[in-house]
Structure 1
């Protein structure tokens, strides 16, 4: 890698799981507006549901999710009462004929739930919504939580995709991030869910962790490959201690520098591709027959708050504290604090506290940024067909940027704009060129590699 390019294009940039990004959400989107948006969904709309379980029995120091540690189950029991009430309130506002095509449980650690609560929560969803018979049901799993009864409960709810966070199997790295999880534990989870008929397993691996080396990451990747997962996410650790105070437990001096991070990313990617996985966007890999790889090849890959997806639903509805939804009209986020979330639900059923309504320019730029993040470029004709005259501004910006970029990371011609092979690792930085909100000074972001 050209070190000049690396240093130039690895400044802070959003991950672009939405546009506009979450720091630009505001209180102008409240429960009343959210309720109206839900009611305006088409009768034949397809819906993806996200349920947030904001509890863990240990706090991983690398984590940037909205979660809290608890060793008692009482807070979870109370929280589930509110979550079920929100499910009922949302379902009452959504057209009855709308169909749920995907359900994702995230956290936190959804696998902290007792088996009977897992089944009860899914029963609540099935009673509230019309769920497609082939809906994808995915759950984020912590191997330290799981036992035979929970595996059976996951099978009972219809689990189709198991999502395992691994990070790194090296003991020194695990100690530094407070995430002790052996390879044997992880392998037992994969074997247990597959024995119960789960067809798809994905694993998350992190690079850029404290005390992580090229050698330790290589060993972790080899261990992951031995599990034969269908998808692998290779994320760069986002060190944001100004936003997540527990990350101050990780000393800056223990973190790899940008050159080491890039070398780790490049080596892990090389190993995965050599084993037959296809690269998906900037940080995912999938077997060629996996739906994510098919979507990438056919130009239907999407990007949302869960990262890369083949989910083509008309709306993503987030439920639970801090969860974010994406509807045709815009984005909406629930109250992050669990206590305030519960009180809001008790008072009115919904807990939306901020969001943003999309302008035509927002929709245009959201499309451009999503295509850069998914396809490393975008087509001018398609943009003009879908957005009309307002597309000309972005077409002009793309041409201007490409003409004046002397580093060879992108090209533009009469047909479109695309990143070169040298530019693909810097997709986040290039996408930021089309972000009209970024220079407002709102929000701080992790480095772009």
Structure 2
């Protein structure tokens, strides 16, 4: 079912709102949740026998991309990694002592920063430390983010030999003027070379990131970027809306705001993006993501089993996500925990022999209920009343009477259809899925919306 771009409806509903990589979102995390809570919840999680997903944050980058909002450390010195990896290993050992390590790891993801800041030897050593403590399922998804500009000899071969099967890399925009304005020069020839190497090595899935709304972009320039991306033939594409928030991300002050495209131009770029990728055979997964029809994301969505976590869309629902490294977030069945954001605080906590938990959130039964509804809508564009009632022992129409009334206006706008036993998001509603999900968000009325990006 093709997603429909309706400019009038987008302009009507566009407002700030959460991206729902979790519910409640990370903006609700607080320091009242401590490392002692995390320790207790980790031990309790063993009783569920849920599989594990491991996320490692590698914060180092060789140069700063001025659009970036990630927690990164810019350094040209390769020797800065040794100490950090020793502390990551220490945290890994502490977690392994608390977890039942017979629980299989079905997902491993290295993000950043730039994980290929690590040398091939460091990549292998870190992977070996992980395998010392945890065992992987045979069909484990093992993924890593790379910066193609800084690939070292032997890195891709090492990743493939160790078992990594998914690669994600940023392109952002193919135009040199745009690249120069965001301090990320990345020749088209380099992207072609790296893609060929990845295919020759046999990586099963390759994702490319694009961004619209960057300096000097317009519809014609971005059309060229989309054409070149389609030629590269990635399995997945993520197309993000650039949010210019220099008061939150100081690095963005290096960008001249007068060079940014106006809102109308950004909407046109989004419309073009959806049309071109769908015409090229990609499926609109939701939010910013496209995938080939035979990709696991598209298959999971068709089966109604797609889910979201702090890495975005995932095919592995019902797993416990363990975050490792500075700023990493863990996501257990009924709780979230985030590590300290600075490596100084991260090191200090581990030196004291405690987990590096900075803040978190413990979910109530009501939170769990609303999370299930929100994630079903966000990921699968469908929510079954029968399923929710069976899981939580409620009467859907009674429990969500106010929410269903609020959705009636959206139904009139052809964003969704409410039947006797389900909510179905329609093609015009897919781009506005965050707005639909917000109706079920109990916290949204008390939040400061300025903390969020706009829904479109």
Alignment of 1:166-181 (within 5 A): 166-181=171-186
Alignment of 1:145-156 (within 5 A): 145-156=150-161
1:306 equivalent among 289, 308, 311 = 311
Question: What is the match of residue 439 of structure 1?
Answer: 445
Contact 1:17 1:305 in 2 (8 A): yes
Question: What is the match of residue 428 of structure 2?
Answer: 422
Say if 1:275 and 1:312 are closer, same or farther in 2 by CA, change over 3 A.
Answer: same
Deviation, 1:371, is 1.6
Question: What is the match of residue 41 of structure 2?
Answer: 37
1:277 equivalent among 259, 279, 282 = 282
List runs of 5+ in structure 1 lacking aligned partners.
none
CA RMSD, Structure 1 to Structure 2 (Å):
1.7
Contact 1:333 1:355 in 2 (8 A): yes
CA distance in 2: counterparts of 1:258 and 1:423, whole angstroms: 20
Say if 1:100 and 1:263 are closer, same or farther in 2 by CA, change over 3 A.
Answer: same
Deviation, 1:444, is 0.6
Greater displacement, 352-361 / 188-197: 188-197
Deviation, 1:398, is 3.3
Contact 1:399 1:417 in 2 (8 A): no
CA distance in 1: counterparts of 2:209 and 2:284, whole angstroms: 14
CA distance in 1: counterparts of 2:123 and 2:395, whole angstroms: 47
CA distance in 2: counterparts of 1:166 and 1:84, whole angstroms: 31
Matched, 1:336 2:341: yes
Question: What is the match of residue 11 of structure 2?
Answer: 7
2:378 equivalent among 373, 379, 394 = 373
Greater displacement, 390-399 / 187-196: 390-399
Contact 1:85 1:349 in 2 (8 A): no
Query: What TM-score does the superposition give when structure 1 sets the normalisation length?
Result: 0.95
User: Aligned to 1:368, what secondary structure does the other structure show?
Assistant: helix
CA distance in 1: counterparts of 2:187 and 2:21, whole angstroms: 30
Contact 2:195 2:232 in 1 (8 A): yes
Deviation, 1:343, is 1.5
Question: What is the match of residue 26 of structure 2?
Answer: 22
Say if 1:167 and 1:393 are closer, same or farther in 2 by CA, change over 3 A.
Answer: farther
Alignment of 1:328-367 (within 5 A): 328-367=333-372
CA distance in 2: counterparts of 1:131 and 1:266, whole angstroms: 41
Greater displacement, 37-46 / 17-26: 37-46
Contact 2:108 2:141 in 1 (8 A): yes
CA distance in 2: counterparts of 1:305 and 1:225, whole angstroms: 27
Matched, 1:188 2:193: yes
Greater displacement, 245-254 / 87-96: 245-254
CA distance in 2: counterparts of 1:416 and 1:45, whole angstroms: 28
Deviation, 1:366, is 1.0
List runs of 5+ in structure 2 lacking aligned partners.
none
Query: What TM-score does the superposition give when structure 2 sets the normalisation length?
Result: 0.94
